[in-house]
Structure 1
Amino acid sequence: MAGGVGTKTSSPIDGLLNSAPVGGYQIRVAMLCAVIAMIDGFDTQAIAFVAPVIGREWAITPDKLGLIFAAGLFGIMVGQILLGPLADRYGRRPVIIGCTALFGVLSLATAAVDDWQMLLLLRFLTGIGLGGATPNLITLTCEVAPPRSRGTMITAMFAGFPLGAALGGYISSMLIPAFGWQSVFVLGGVIPLVLLLVLFPMLPESPHFLHAKGHNPAALDRILDKILGRDRPETPPASTGEQAAPKASFAALFDNGLGSVTLLLWVAYFCSLLMIYFLMSWLPTVARQSGLALNTAIISAVFLNLGGAIGGIALGRVADSFGAFRTLAVGFAIAGISLAGIGLVGNQATLLMALAFVAGLFTIGGQTAMNAATSQIYPAHVRATGLGTALAVGRAGSIAGPWIGGLLLASDWSLSAIFTVVAMPAALTVIISILLSRRLAR
């Protein structure tokens, strides 16, 4: 990848993976991760689908809805802070499986609540599971892929997140009128619990993790045989650097010249996720208040997330050719313009859908491409920590976005003013992307 996030071989495992084409085993692992990401996207977005209904049924004001949105996102932040380092110590596989079980059970429990305080608590706890899964899905996909193809494989895999949210919106628009808002959480709980039956036998551990730890060489050999074939080169011993520093450390995110990069990434993640989760949380409610029918309001979120799914893949491909952060600079400039435009369309459904699609293309899609770039900046022994920490810092933005949106709506700001304010972080993300492109190109 040009522009600083490259495909240079950084470990013996990278050298082996880069010696062969992408095969069926790697694609299968990426597809399993994509399915989990789809469910993660659906469960994360579920509260926005039901918000217009429970807001009316329970007489919840916008500021309280903002707190409920923020509670789930705060839980995601906690999960990313705690479970990224846990995966660097104990493995990607057990954390992914455990998180999938956690958010499945808690989603089912959410269907039984009857007051906003308990809903807030369960959204927080569900968020811990959702947040713990995200960085490890990206990390596992990164670590089974050959370095030259990582950007494309990661963005294609994580397109599952907005695709799950988009499909969830379409399904929810039919479920809620027929079976009530509770049906959304029932579906969001049953699917991940059933998926566990597939994950236990089929989801592997990361070859990078096994190589760095060195305590299960037989498992590492089995995975490499499946990826490269039995006639592959012999598995190399772990390098001195890997053996000396196998444990996750937050301090390592600032070693070897990474300090300024880490800080810039944190600000970029904050700005990006503020815009994304403002849109994901409030777009259906704003569309409903503008006079659109409930199913049309929910479909606006479908277009937002569909744009994100397509944008992640498209931007990943462009980034592999022209540089990740140069691509992101252009993308977030377009994102800011489309965000400001949403506040001007009123109840013009067609124009709203078009702008929501473009906003999703360059905000959600841009975030997916940023995840792929970030996963290749850090060495393997702190990769999940680095990505999880960036996402966790970004979650402060994802909490601020819905909360600020609720306050502004409750204060009777005009929609044009609200969306103009929320578009401002896009300008800062453009500047940071340019700085990162130049810093990583040195």
Structure 2
Amino acid sequence: MSGNNYTPEERAGLLVNCDVEDEEAIFDAQERKPQNKDGTSYEDAIEATGSGRYHIMLLLICGWAVSSDAIETLSLSFILPSATCDMKLSAPMKGWLNAGMFVGMLFGGYVWGSLADKYGRRSVLIFSLIINGLAGLASSFAQTYWLFLLCRLVSGIGVGGSSPVIFTYYSEFQSKTRRGGMVSALATFWMCGNIIAAGLAWVVIVYIKINFHLSDFSYSNWRLYLALCTLPSLTSVLVFLLMPESPKYLLLTGKEQDSLLVLQKIFMANNKNSCLEDYGVNSIYLYDGDADEQKKMLAAKKCPSNFKQNVLAILRLTVELFQKPLLHNTCVLLLISFSLSFGFYSLWMWFPEIFDRIEKYGGSVCSPGKSHNTSNTSVTECLPPNNNIFFDGFLTAASNLPGNIFTIFLMDKIGRKLLLASSMVISGISVFTILLISDRISNLIVSCIFGGISVIGWNALNVLSLELFPTKIRSTGLGIQSASIRIGAISGNLIFGILVDANCSVPLVMVSCLLIFGGLMALRLPDMTGRDIL
């Protein structure tokens, strides 16, 4: 069948799950009417669905997936003090563990993001979440350092794919009038994941006593903690199996009827007392630029796909990002992403270690007390972690809350660019004070200030990135940006791991300077507040 000739049963089935795989059963591109302006634009159609139950449900579902990425990424920082004795970890080895996760995210962000532009957001999201969860679970059983590092790298591949695709998927359900606030609301779930990771570490590692040994196999409370941290990603898979594909992606790939059915489903969920006829949208159209890209995508789908063609398709999408008119924005976004990631993750992944050192040895992180032996950095002294570090980690994670609330209500009023620039500059200045800290309370206060301010920059960057990349290459663009973020995180963690025992003032100064530089670069981006996205 073609066109709109659905039976009532088929139409009901599509309303439940509009991710229809058989193109010919929905449309034939040559039989559909050409793109014109007689229907309703996508932006007007999504605006007409309103805001209500469906968007709340979507926020919670996507938010849980974002939390799972945060938990999997940040959980490693909470187990390092405990795993030091079990795996005889030195500071450089810890740096490689932190960096290994981001190496996987670097690869996964690019590949999965590009595949999401070719095969759809939902299916790619599901597969990346599966890899994330299973590899994270396997790492809890790894007995050797190198196997543990490999598992965390594979888990990073999953996180690197799901993280940008979740935001792409979610943003394409939002209208321009509420996009900034809603994406900011989604970004707050990273904070929720951070709090869950810190709180779970506080409960499991401190209060649950497990120390199982059998020959060369051991299982302790920090391993149980890692296993529990995989539950959010694995449960997210089950939920996304019931969700439809992004309506904007469906429209771009020629499935206008599928896209319209998703929009109708959203309208009916948001307006329980209305009839479907009240929606008033019978056909939808794309911008001219997207319509041209749609023809290319439909032509490509008619050709058989193989590995070589998939690689070429990914490269084609990548090259387009570095051509005018996208070249300037792409380069500036990559520089900002690297700077913010280098600064944020260099400190955030090492905060528990910093807390632990100050608790054990006194002094400051760069000038520890006399009981700390810095003459041998190959093996960190095997002492059990102080329980206070997990409580401090929990408070530091919770410090993101004010910044997240601030961006939810003011992102569409103040503007993304101003928030991004000011947040990064203030964060950079605050890092200098860490060099002067010599007690736990002062370190905790500065850490909370850094967390509360820097999260504003992350939220603003998330919104700007989604708005500056066109729909046809949005996941690819976010994947490239994700790669820049991972390179920054890898560089920061390796440099911090190498220099933390030798001359830790150097990486702290680098962090501060890069954050200020990134904030100034943000002034070169356009502000997309209240504007249509392509």
TM-score w.r.t. length of structure 2: 0.76
Letter in structure 1 aligned against 2:113: G
Letter in structure 2 aligned against 1:60: L
Partner of 2:160: 131
Shift of 1:420: 2.9
Partner of 1:319: 411
Partner of 1:200: 241
For residue 110 of structure 1, the aligned residue among 139, 156, 159 is 139
For residue 262 of structure 1, the aligned residue among 330, 349, 372 is 330
Shift of 1:189: 2.1
Partner of 1:96: 125
Partner of 2:88: 59
1:363 and 2:454 matched: yes
Please say if residues 104 and 193 of structure 1, whose CA atoms lie closer than 8 Å, have aligned partners that are also in contact: yes
Partner of 2:73: 44
Letter in structure 1 aligned against 2:246: S
Please say if residues 278 and 398 of structure 1, whose CA atoms lie closer than 8 Å, have aligned partners that are also in contact: yes
1:148 and 2:177 matched: yes
Q: How does 1:233-248 map to 2 (within 5 A)?
A: 233-246=281-294, 247=297
Cα deviations by residue, 1:344-402 (Å, 9 ceiling, x for unpaired)? 223332x2222212211222331122011110112111111112211211210011111
Q: Distance in 2 between matches of 1:285 and 1:264?
A: 33
Partner of 2:508: 419
1:72 and 2:101 matched: yes
Partner of 2:228: 187
Change in CA separation of 1:257 and 1:239 when aligned onto 2, cut-off 3 Å: closer
Cα deviations by residue, 1:311-340 (Å, 9 ceiling, x for unpaired)? 234235333112211121111121112222
Shift of 1:204: 2.2
Q: Determine helix, strand or coil for the equivalent of 1:129.
A: helix
For residue 398 of structure 2, the aligned residue among 277, 284, 306 is 306
Structure 1 runs of 4+ off > 4 angstroms? Answer: 437-442
Change in CA separation of 1:224 and 1:167 when aligned onto 2, cut-off 3 Å: same
Q: Distance in 2 between matches of 1:197 and 1:143?
A: 21
Q: Distance in 2 between matches of 1:374 and 1:144?
A: 16
Q: How does 1:203-242 map to 2 (within 5 A)?
A: 203-215=243-255, 217-229=256-268, 230=276, 231-232=278-279, 233-242=281-290
Change in CA separation of 1:153 and 1:106 when aligned onto 2, cut-off 3 Å: same
Shift of 1:193: 2.1
Q: Distance in 2 between matches of 1:32 and 1:440?
A: 25
Partner of 1:399: 490
Letter in structure 2 aligned against 1:261: N
Q: Distance in 1 between matches of 2:412 and 2:114?
A: 28
Please say if residues 33 and 157 of structure 1, whose CA atoms lie closer than 8 Å, have aligned partners that are also in contact: yes
288-297 or 28-37: bigger deviation: 288-297
Cα deviations by residue, 1:6-48 (Å, 9 ceiling, x for unpaired)? xxxxx92112112353221122112101001111111100110
For residue 251 of structure 1, the aligned residue among 319, 332, 335 is 319
48-57 or 302-311: bigger deviation: 302-311
Q: Determine helix, strand or coil for the equivalent of 2:436.
A: coil
Partner of 1:380: 471
Q: Distance in 2 between matches of 1:440 and 1:224?
A: 24
Q: Distance in 1 between matches of 2:69 and 2:393?
A: 16
Partner of 2:351: 283
% identity of equivalent residues: 24
Q: Distance in 1 between matches of 2:506 and 2:99?
A: 22
**Structure of larger gyration radius:** 2
Partner of 2:50: 21
Q: Distance in 1 between matches of 2:429 and 2:387?
A: 26
Please say if residues 152 and 313 of structure 1, whose CA atoms lie closer than 8 Å, have aligned partners that are also in contact: no
Q: Determine helix, strand or coil for the equivalent of 2:283.
A: coil
Letter in structure 1 aligned against 2:266: I
Q: Determine helix, strand or coil for the equivalent of 1:22.
A: coil
